[in-house]
Structure 1
Amino acid sequence: MPRFVYLLIFLTFGLSAGAARAADFETNATHAIIIEAESGRVLYGKQIDDPIPTASMSKMVTVYMLMEELAKGTLTEDDTFTVSEKAWRKGGSKMFVELGKQIRVGDLLRGIVVQSGNDASIVVAEGLAGTEEAFAEKMNERARELGLTDTLLKNATGWPDPEHRMSVHDLARIARLTILNFPQYYPIYAEKSFTYHDIKQGNRNPVLYKFAGADGLKTGHTEEAGYGLTASAERDGHRLIAVIAGLESSRVRATESVRLLQWAFRTFRNHRLLSEGEVLDKAEVWLGESTHVPLVAGEDVNFTMDAESRKGMTAHLVYEGPVPAPIRKGEKIAELVIRVPDADPLRVPMLAGADVGKLGITGRIAAALGYLIFGGS
């Protein structure tokens, strides 16, 4: 049977000159990143892989590990942890737990997420690992497993330590994993206040109050780290995650985070390139009752990009053919490779859109002779 590799360049997009580009944005943050939540793809970055002091933003790892235990069922929100003297005495932002008290896990979770409680973080660390130091070791082990490549954690709180570091890329990654893996708990990050021990505290995250669609995640501030924020927002089913760090004041952090999110949603659009079941082309069939079979997309294909990237996007349909009969509807027989500048290629399975039976002996002989004499169509 003759075999050929088909490479069909069939799809290009173009937009007018002067379209927005990701590189056009400037921020006062020393480090910044925007990623798409669905894929984790970096859309914009400034010094994204530098390990930097995180302040309270690294509490997202503490929260992630607590949410894992809740999701596995090894803990419930009604279980309790005991407040040690170390936790009770800890300074900085506090939930105001009482020495020796048994605190519900659900309250501790909100005490960390909403109130950024250092005391609550230590109670959780000791409850899960015995000591905060042992918990930090577990955090680093889990961070490696989760692909946080520029992370070293020395405590559960983000308290200043010369070795306690994360990159903004890793902060965005842990935010994304939280959103994707714990949809039942992630809405806690959007809660604007929490009251414990008759003390009501508001969520410190400014985007919750200033940007429509924002629902997380975590602020941070120390003298060394400056002011930082990990934020996420969703609009029209499209979610972005942004991290900024190294800003000079809480006021600048608030204005810069909103400005960054406004620009990001204006610049990066989520484009539907193909819909599942959409007929894209047809493939030649070898010794089949039909000479061609339709090729349909095996899944929806969405891609987030700025206009300049879309201008340079191409797609190639690749298959080895003619495809031998019989062919079953839904069988993968080709691959669509979509390439966008500065991004890994998307590889989309292309499926047979119909059944194609095999020719009988007489038909197969006639078709083979036709290929020998005339070649493929």
Structure 2
Amino acid sequence: MLPKAKIFSAMLATALIVSGARAQIMDTPASHAVIMDHATGTILFSKDGAEPMIPASMTKMMTAYLVFELIDRGEISLTDRLTVSEDAWRRGGFPSGTSTMGLAPGDTPTVEELLHGVIIMSGNDACMVLAEGISGSEEAFARRMTALAHELGLNSANFKNATGLEAVGHVISAEDLAKLAKLTIDNYPQYYEWYDMPSYTWRDYTQANRNPLLEIPGADGLKTGHLDESGYGLTGSAIRDGIRRTIVINGLESKAARAQEGERMMRMAFQSYDLKVITPESVVLPEVKVWLGERSTVPVSLASQMTIAGHKAVLEKAKTEIVLDNALEAPIKEGDTVGKLVVTIDGQPPVEAPIVAEAGVKKLGFFGRAVEGLSQMISGGNG
């Protein structure tokens, strides 16, 4: 029978790769791409995912999220009516030649109708009307978007408008868009359902949802984007067998390329990546040597669970070891942190988890320490 340490190492090495290790086994024509496990927020794959990029209409995820927050705080309600200004109509309506809800000057849609226009129709006019009605101007609303994004930990975000139309310095990373998708799904499930609607009609104008992923099983959001300078992008999420994964891609050359790569990335997210949770109870670690203690070793365990994730093709490359900061010397109290478990894979940063003593170890008395010291002298101090 293998020793416990060997059993543990073999089990981990053949089954797991640690959370956060991003094995670049696959590639994508997208300039920026991310695959995220929803439950844990673990980034499973990243291609320039932390680099700020131009999000185009994927910006509208943040526009909608800020409105959700303001509704939750009681600053505005779904039934409030906002008036469409001539400026919003001219810059975001039919005269603009951009994505529109089809609003006209003087219209008074409700906040709920405008949110449908933002989420499903990608209406620039709807974004502008919300921004002007809530903050007085689109610029002021964009500043609130950025401030809220930073509060949420989306530190790459810098919004200059509510639409995602061209603006110098208007950026957010693919990783932060994936995190924003998670926040939307987790915090506002009642509104997230709108991202799955196939179309929406304002008066006699109907616009189909542009998200190509809604055609595949389990997909239920979120948002596309396109500008000449950013290429075609998509933030999408899907759930299968109780597991949810989110992808972000940007920089594709066409709608067809976006649809094809979005479907491929989502398929890979479920088929090629794995994620497990290791609890302290599920693994047995070898006992650790103790110096000058009434016992020579102490049993140890993980202090907390570890989230393990990665591409299945590189799972066998994971290696584990117990690392002590210093030689472990008695006395030791039960629960003391005595070292760390380090899991590594070639080319990836190591991930660490603390290990704790499962029992206390008293220090040897004077005679015991003398005997131990004599033993060390005889053995050359290599104990």
The TM tier, using the shorter chain, reads 0.7 to 0.9
Aligned-partner Cα distance in 2 for 1:36–1:343 = 19
Q: Which residue of 1 aligns with 2:219?
A: 214
Cα distance, 1:181–1:101 mapped onto 2, change above 3 Å: same
Counterpart of 1:204 (choices 180, 201, 210) is 210
**How far apart in 2 are the matches of 1:370 and 1:81?**
85
What secondary structure does 1:11 align onto?
helix
Three-state SS of the structure 2 residue aligned to 1:324 is coil
Any unmatched runs of 5+ in structure 1? 1-7, 16-20
For 1:59-208, list aligned pairs within 5 A: 59-89=60-90, 90-91=92-93, 92-97=98-103, 99-100=105-106, 103-143=109-149, 151-161=157-167, 164-179=170-185, 182=188, 185-194=191-200, 197=203, 201-208=207-214
Please point out which of 341, 344, 353 is paired with 1:348: 353
Per-residue deviation at 1:152? Answer: 4.3
| Contact 2:44 2:273 (8 Å CA) reproduced | no
Within 5 Å, which residues of 2 pair with 1:330-349? Answer: 330-349=335-354
Contact 1:32 1:244 in 2 (8 A): yes
1:50 Cα deviation from its structure 2 partner = 6.2
TM-score by length of 2: 0.75
Instruction: Report the alpha carbon displacement of residue 129 of structure 1 after superposing the two structures with TM.
Output: 1.9
Shift of 1:258: 0.4
Q: 1:324 aligns with which of 321, 326, 330?
A: 330
How far has the Cα of 1:117 moved from its partner? 2.1
Change (3 A) 1:331 1:199: farther
Give the match's secondary structure for 1:281: coil
Amino acid at match of 2:281: G
Inter-CA distance 364–127: structure 2 relative to 1 (3 Å threshold): farther
2:269 aligned partner: 264
CA distance in structure 1 between the partners assigned to 2:120 and 2:316 by the alignment? 42
Q: Which moved more, 1:132-141 or 1:91-100?
A: 91-100
Q: Distance in 1 between matches of 2:293 and 2:190?
A: 51
CA contact under 8 A between 1:57 and 1:158: conserved in structure 2?
yes
Aligned residue number for residue 9 of structure 2:
11
- Shift of residue 42 of structure 1? 5.7
CA contact (8 A) 2:154 2:176 kept: yes
Q: Deviations over 1:214-266 (max 9, x none)?
A: 23210123455443211123445544332223334433322221022213332
CA contact (8 A) 2:34 2:43 kept: no
Residue type at the aligned position of 1:217 = L
Separation (CA, whole Å) in 1 of partners of 2:198 and 2:288: 56
Q: How far apart are the structure 1 equivalents of 2:349 and 2:77? A: 40
Find 2:281's aligned residue among 277, 280, 294: 277
Which digits, 9 at most, give the CA deviation of each residue in 1:29-57, with x for residues without a partner? Answer: 444333444345361416873634x3311
State the secondary structure of the residue aligned to 2:365: helix
> 1:18 is matched with which residue?
none
1:118 deviates by 1.6
Residue 324 of structure 1, CA deviation = 3.3
Q: How does 1:224-373 map to 2 (within 5 A)?
A: 224-236=229-241, 238-272=243-277, 274-278=278-282, 279-285=284-290, 291-319=296-324, 320-322=326-328, 324-325=330-331, 327-328=333-334, 330-353=335-358, 355-356=359-360, 358=362, 364-373=365-374
CA drift at 1:187:
4.1
Deviation at 1:325, TM superposition (A): 4.0
> How many angstroms does 1:323 deviate by?
5.1
Distance in 1 (CA, whole Å) between partners of 2:372 and 2:81 is 76
Q: Distance in 2 between matches of 1:245 and 1:107?
A: 28
Contact 1:22 1:267 in 2 (8 A): no
Q: Is the 8 A contact 2:52 2:157 kept in 1?
A: no
Query: Structure 1's 142 and 268: CA in aligned 2 closer, same or farther, altered over 3 A?
Result: same
Cα pair distance change 1:269/1:326, threshold 3 Å: closer
- Structure 1 pair 75–287 and aligned structure 2 pair: CA distance change class (3 A): farther
Deviations 1:4-63 (A, max 9, x none): xxxx99736259xxxxx96564544444333444345361416873634x3311112212
For residues 66-106 of structure 1, the C-alpha deviation after alignment (integer angstroms, 9 at most, x for no partner) is 23334445444445544333334422333345654554434
Change beyond 3 A, Cα 1:69–1:324:
farther
Deviation at 1:343, TM superposition (A): 3.9
Count of aligned positions? 357
Counterpart mapping for 1:31-42 below 5 A: 31-37=32-38, 38-41=40-43
- Secondary structure of 1:241's counterpart equals strand
Cα 1:69–1:44 change in 2 (3 A) is: same
Change (3 A) 1:144 1:357: closer
Residues 158-195 of structure 1, C-alpha deviation per residue, up to 9 Å, x if partnerless? 22345544454543443344445555644443344445
In the alignment, what sits opposite 2:45? Answer: 43
- Separation in 1 of the partners of 2:347 and 2:242? 24
State the one-letter code of the partner of 1:11: S
Deviates more, 1:259-268 or 1:186-195: 186-195
> Residue type matched to 1:134 in 2?
A
Q: Secondary structure in 2 aligned to 1:34? A: strand
For residues 321 and 27 of structure 2, what CA distance do their matches in structure 1 show? 35
